[in-house]
Amino acid sequence: MRPNFHSAADQSSRGASWEPSVSRLREAIDARELSLEIQPIVDAVSGQPLKGEALVRWRHPEHGMIGPDRFIALAENNRALIEKLLLWGIEEALAIAVRLAAAGTALPLAINVSGSNLLDIDLPKRIMELLARYGVPPAQLAFEITESAAFGDPMRALAILSQLRGHGFDLALDDFGTGYSSLKVLKQLPFTALKIDKSFVVEVTISSDARIIVKSIVDLARNMGLRSVAEGVETREVADLLGTLGADALQGYWVAPPMNEERLTQWLRVKRSAA
């Protein structure tokens, strides 16, 4: 049975007739209507937290909670706005990272990066400036790039991703298996992890096709020296099978839902005291 956690997209359904605009989204960032929830990613064997994925939410004064699926595509069509959103997200994550470390519950945080962000060659420099301002080392921040985004303009993406990797950030290829991966390009780009798309993971115990795909991605990652992260782990059965198939890390409602900072801190305390 599906656990009783709802995605931000589910929660936003009551505002379904309203559509956000570029200018309203820009205002929302300045008015601090956006916030981050963090979803833990744990080691498949020990269950210990490895990272947290930062997921943006928009608390609209009239339309309630709006999930990223309702506004990220809009932002992606506007280069200045998607850059503003990314830099806001990094700064917010850095502030959270500093507080988590101060509370004795440090956790590296992963930020989602859109393809349109990989057009700005100054991006690595701006990110390093933010890290310096917050006093956070690159090991405490990581990036997830969706497959189609990274491969839209591979040479430009390569230049930016190589710089980020050179600074020591982990780089995960997101939603793997749903895009147009050329294995040759995959080999050229400096990723450290493959995230297996949840559409395969949710079916892994009931579909032999899904199982073959998940196993193939796990093996591909291992053979390329990358870690494999399964997202969309909703049940113990799925988690157990992923362990058998050799996935390195798990993320999903069965592990923990996306949480605000306070709940995340409590969750981390319980986990670490059980270690």
Binding site for Ca ion (CB under 5 A): 112, 144, 174-175
Partner from Ca ion, ligand C2E, none binding residue 130, C-beta < 5-8 Å depending on class: none
Report the alpha-carbon angle 146-148-227, nearest 5.
Answer: 45
Toward Ca ion, which CB reaches closer, 170 or 175?
Answer: 175
> Exposed e or buried b for every residue in 57-85, given b needs 16+ CB within 10 A?
bbebeebebbbbebbeebbbebeebbbbb
Listed residue (245, 237, 200) closest to 221, CA to CA: 245
Listed residue (53, 65, 116) closest to 89, CA to CA: 53
Answer for which of 7, 163, 192, 205 binds ligand C2E (CB under 6 A) is: 7
Nearest approach in angstroms of CB 54 to ligand C2E is 6
Nearest approach in angstroms of CB 104 to ligand C2E is 26
Partner from ligand C2E, Ca ion, none binding residue 72, C-beta < 5-8 Å depending on class: ligand C2E
Partner from ligand C2E, Ca ion, none binding residue 41, C-beta < 5-8 Å depending on class: none
Answer for which of 25, 38, 41, 56 binds ligand C2E (CB under 6 A) is: 56
Toward ligand C2E, which CB reaches closer, 150 or 223?
Answer: 150
52 conformational bin, left if phi > 0, alpha if psi -120 to 50, beta if neither: beta
Toward Ca ion, which CB reaches closer, 58 or 200?
Answer: 200
Residue 252 CA to residue 257 CA, distance in Å, equals 6
φ, ψ for residue 213, nearest 5 deg: -65, -45
Q: Is 253 in the site for ligand C2E (CB under 6 A)?
A: yes
3-state secondary structure 157-195: HHHHHHHHHHCCCEEEEEEECCCCCCHHHHHHCCCCEEE
Answer for which of 38, 40, 114, 115 binds ligand C2E (CB under 6 A) is: 114
In the complex, the residues that contact ligand C2E under the rule CB under 6 A are 7-9, 39, 55-56, 67-69, 72, 89, 112, 114, 144, 174-175, 198, 231-234, 252-253, 258
